[in-house]
Amino acid sequence: MHGRPLHPDPVVQPVQHQTAVDPLPWRAAAPPPHPSTQRDPRGPSYDTQNSVDYSVATRLKKAVAEKLAELLKDSPGMSAQAQAQRGRALINEAVAVWADAVAIERGRSTTPAEDRHLAEAVYDLLFRAGRLQKYLDDPRVENILVNGHDDVCVDYGDARRVPVPPVAESDEDLKELLRDLARRTGQSERTLSTANPFLALRLEDGSRLQAITEVTPKTYVTIRRHRVRDVDLPGLVELGSIDTTLAAFLGALIRAKKNVMIVGTQGVGKTSLLRAMAREIPPDERIGTMETEYELFLHENGHHRQIVPMESRLGNGERVDGHSVGEITVGDLIYPALRMTLSRMVVGEVRGPEVVPMLRVMTNGEGGSLCTLHAREPHMVFDRIAELYMEYGGNMTESLAYKQAANGINFIVFVKMVDETAIGGRRHRFVSHVLEVTGTGEMGRPATNTVFGPRPELDEPRAVPLMHPACLPDLMRVGFPAHLLDLSRGSWQAPLELKVRAA
């Protein structure tokens, strides 16, 4: 094993209170957390939705849509903004006519709030995400889970899962909403039907939607929100995902152009960490991003000025040689990207045969590439890579997968979630391990050093320094203060507050 262990004595020493490490040494102090990241223990509240009769809203939406379609026949080049303005006017007219009819029926006028809520509901149905929109507008909501039109829950922040009212009048109305979303988001090649029972979309706010129908008893939809879309490493420090010691180390990995793979299970924060680390790439360095659906938004963050964002494309359903006609996969994007004079490549998620060209880039390029991968535990990473290599076909073998992983990957960062909401606690997302890949070890598998990891003897499940990496001189040359690795607790002031601790 390479590197120098920091704490060879297994005897647990009395815990000493450590002085806080200053925020990241190469930049200004971290800003206070954005209000949208703060936990609201009360949970989401959607009081206005109960005041809207959605059968009326749906009827008015159809009437307005017909009038708008007639206008578009006369002005086919009308911009989306102009359509929305005309639609708003038509909606107000339709609501006014409805209010007059209701006043006669009730014997009293509707209230301004009632009219306003109805108009907003019709607008959302026609131009936005319908009844889902109120959850997309709520910065606290993390996931929207739809198990049929009338069985809906939302997850928000680190709190509990909350049931909410139906998002459509029927399953068919829900499918029609999903088709509308596909059209409005400019991804019309992605639709939902008997022939195409799966739908994956990127919504206007960047949320990721996956829907399944026909092969299920009803339509199921999962929407994953990006609550920390513009986060950087100081932001992750404020959220408690990493401490300032690890933030300084991760920033140095980027500046030293180390190839990094971020690993963990679904929903633990891999994409957020990748975004934050990518913010350490110099603004004028030319990089390319390859994603199934845009989730990194590096081309929209205002930081990077030389970026080539690429997104895969679904085919038209016809199969030729096992592939859908017109399909462009993440793997297909990598090779042309090599001709774009890119200094780094960032793959949002490696989940198939694209692992082969990705590791080839890491092996042969100048370094600094980033990607994410799904794996349940740190020790499973290389077996997962080998499994994906087999999907590539050809002459791929397990030994070749191990060899290219050992040669291409410099560091593996593992992200973990501990969910204690079932016992009245919180969801804790944090980096638990940072492994340095040091070449080929026994049985041809990649060898690793655990540079950061948990210290159960100190009741600390989060990543704290365990040893010096073999490449420490490279990190020191880009400004990393090596003495930070001598802090046995990192810069955490106390162990993670868990209701249940390891035995």
Three-state SS across 115-167? HHHHHHHHHHHHHCCHHHHHHHCCCCEEEEEEECCCCEEEEECCCCEEEECCC
**Cβ pair 196, 317 in contact under 8 A:** yes
Quote the pLDDT of residue 157: 72
Quote the pLDDT of residue 231: 86
- Strand 446-455 vs strand 427-440: parallel, antiparallel, or unpaired? antiparallel
Contacts within 8 Å (CB) and 24+ apart, 213-220: 213/175, 217/148, 218/147, 218/148, 218/149, 218/171, 219/146, 219/148, 219/149, 219/171, 219/174, 219/175, 219/178, 220/146, 220/147, 220/148
Quote the pLDDT of residue 363: 86
**Cβ pair 153, 162 in contact under 8 A:** yes
Identify the sign of the CA torsion 118, 122, 124, 125.
positive
DSSP letters, 34-94, are PGGGS--TT----GGGGG--HHHHHHHHHHHHHHHHHHHHH-TT--HHHHHHHHHHHHHHH
Q: Which CATH class is domain 228-317+327-486?
A: alpha beta
Positions of the chain with pLDDT under 70? 1-50, 158-159, 186-190, 227-229, 315-324, 503
Alpha helices, DSSP H, located in 265-397: 270-278, 330-337, 355-364, 381-392
CA distance 428 to 240: 8
- Please enumerate in sequence order all residues whose Cβ is within 8 A of that of 485, keeping only pairs 6 or more positions apart, or say none: 6, 245, 249, 451, 465, 467, 468, 472
- Please enumerate in sequence order all residues whose Cβ is within 8 A of that of 229, keeping only pairs 6 or more positions apart, or say none: 206, 275, 297
**What is the model's pTM?**
0.76
**Cβ pair 356, 396 in contact under 8 A:** yes
The domain over range 138-227 is classified in CATH as 3.30.450.370: yes
**Cβ pair 483, 449 in contact under 8 A:** no
* Residue ranges covered by each domain of the chain: 47-127, 138-227, 228-317+327-486
